[in-house]
Structure 1
Amino acid sequence: MTDIQAVIFDIGNVLIEWQPENFYDRTVGEARRRAFFADTDIHSHHAEIDAGASLPGMIETLIPRYPEYERELRMWNDNWNDLASPVIPHSVRLLHALKAKGTTLFTLTNFGHDNFPLSQTVYPFLTLFDREYVSGRLKMIKPDPAIYAHVEADCGLAPGTLLFADDRPENIAAASARGWKTHLFETPQGWADRLVAEGLLTKEDAK
């Protein structure tokens, strides 16, 4: 019998891949992608989206600063579902298996408030969560302890009853510091094995 009362999924690189470099390599070529990412520091700007800024608004402010990259900047918004893809199939199967078992499911994700609904439209499994803790809505981002405190206060569950999977060590460390059970996501099979070990799924369920 498990004492876990909710399983919490990160999304990027857990349920769907987040490697936007791959999209740009395919569309504009590696050399142009490297120049675009270096000259605009686009990942730092995207962190502002995760913290609550508007994605299309950010793009419109960056275009005058980097007019030579207007095409690439517009892709960050217009081709969002090409950037945040593809799905990680085994992880999605695990999500569905947990849902079928009646497990309480949350997501705790650094994701913009504009683009999260876009991903949910393309990937309906992102609507399966009982509670959605989306950084862009909350205007707090992992690994800030405040976002973990918000989850605890909102769901009312004790930290030790939460099992959280994330691919970033700093996000896992912040959750562990609050007493959450954690899993550093490296492969879907590793996550499957952990869910079986916790008694949440059988080996058959976790395939």
Structure 2
Amino acid sequence: MRIRPAAVVFDYGNVLSQSQPLPDVQAMAAILDLPVPRFRELYWHSRLAYDEAALDPSTYWENLASSASRHLTGAQLAALIETDSRSWSHPAPAVPEWARQLHASGLRTAILSNMPVPVREYITRCPWLPAFHQRTFSCDLRIAKPAPEIFRHCIDALGVPPSETLFLDDRPENIHAAQALGIHGVVFTTLDEVARELDRRFDIPVPLTATLDKRNEENQ
């Protein structure tokens, strides 16, 4: 028997949005005169602390530059913050529209995401971002996934029990943390794979692309 959740909670990066486009990553690496692999390594090294607002933007980027024996000018710092924020602003195919569909169907919807203040300020101004009943960001709470407190905050604000909540995230460790609290979880891989799993396990609308694919299979 399929489960009918009362709420669907979305991670942001790699779920609602695409992965960072390579040109944006290359642009940030070029500002620091670093190879892309080295830049990526330094970018993620202290990212969780940045997401939790334990580091402000200047400190995060200056620490990153210092780790590579680089010194940032004010203009370079501003360019890194702007490019980083923009890099996370590209909508994923079909998922934002699907979130709108769920919202319109009467389900409670939310974002639960680890992200720093500049990225949160940037993406919440994007016209493509759907309306949600609740937006929970690590930088506002100074707590990041997979800490249980951030999940509890989100579902408490939604007013829905964990057993009636579905959570989608691209990181298995975050799904495991949600499941430990009684939340239903699905690891977001590809849209088609996730939609098939949702259709099998849950009584909710699925993304249009998967619906069309299912109809094509039935008509063959």
TM-score (norm 2): 0.77
Q: Residue 83 of structure 1 aligns with which residue?
A: 87
1:148 Cα offset (Å):
1.7
Q: Residue 57 of structure 1 aligns with which residue?
A: 58
Matches within 5 A, 1:155-170: 155-170=158-173
Alpha-carbon distance in 2 for matches of 1:10, 1:63: 26
RMSD (Å) for aligned C-alpha atoms: 3.0
Alpha-carbon distance in 2 for matches of 1:64, 1:43: 13
CA contact (8 A) 1:168 1:184 kept: yes
CA contact (8 A) 1:21 1:33 kept: no
Question: Could you give the per-residue CA deviations for residues 12-33 of structure 1, whole angstroms, max 9, x where no partner exists?
Answer: 0001123365522367399622
Alpha-carbon distance in 2 for matches of 1:31, 1:58: 19
Q: 2:70 aligns with which of 61, 68, 71?
A: 68
What SS is found at the alignment partner of 1:133?
A: strand
Q: 1:176 aligns with which of 156, 159, 179?
A: 179
Alpha-carbon distance in 2 for matches of 1:60, 1:202: 40
Alpha-carbon distance in 1 for matches of 2:112, 2:60: 25
Q: 1:186 aligns with which of 167, 189, 204?
A: 189
In the alignment, residue 105 of structure 1 is paired with which amino acid?
A: T
1:118 aligns with 2:119: no
In the alignment, residue 109 of structure 1 is paired with which amino acid?
A: S
Number of aligned pairs?
204
1:32 aligns with 2:51: no
Alpha-carbon distance in 1 for matches of 2:44, 2:21: 10
CA contact (8 A) 1:53 1:112 kept: no
CA contact (8 A) 1:81 1:122 kept: no
Residues 1:62 and 1:154: Cα distance change in structure 2 (over 3 Å): same
Identity %: 24
Alpha-carbon distance in 1 for matches of 2:70, 2:207: 52
Greater Rg by CA: 2
Q: Residue 48 of structure 2 aligns with which residue?
A: 47
TM-score (norm 1): 0.82
In the alignment, residue 78 of structure 1 is paired with which amino acid?
A: E
1:62 Cα offset (Å):
3.0
Alpha-carbon distance in 2 for matches of 1:113, 1:157: 27
Alpha-carbon distance in 1 for matches of 2:87, 2:61: 18
Alpha-carbon distance in 1 for matches of 2:60, 2:170: 27
In the alignment, residue 83 of structure 1 is paired with which amino acid?
A: S
CA contact (8 A) 1:36 1:69 kept: no
| Higher mean C-alpha deviation, range 102-111 or range 29-38 | 29-38
1:98 aligns with 2:102: yes
1:141 aligns with 2:144: yes
CA contact (8 A) 2:6 2:107 kept: yes
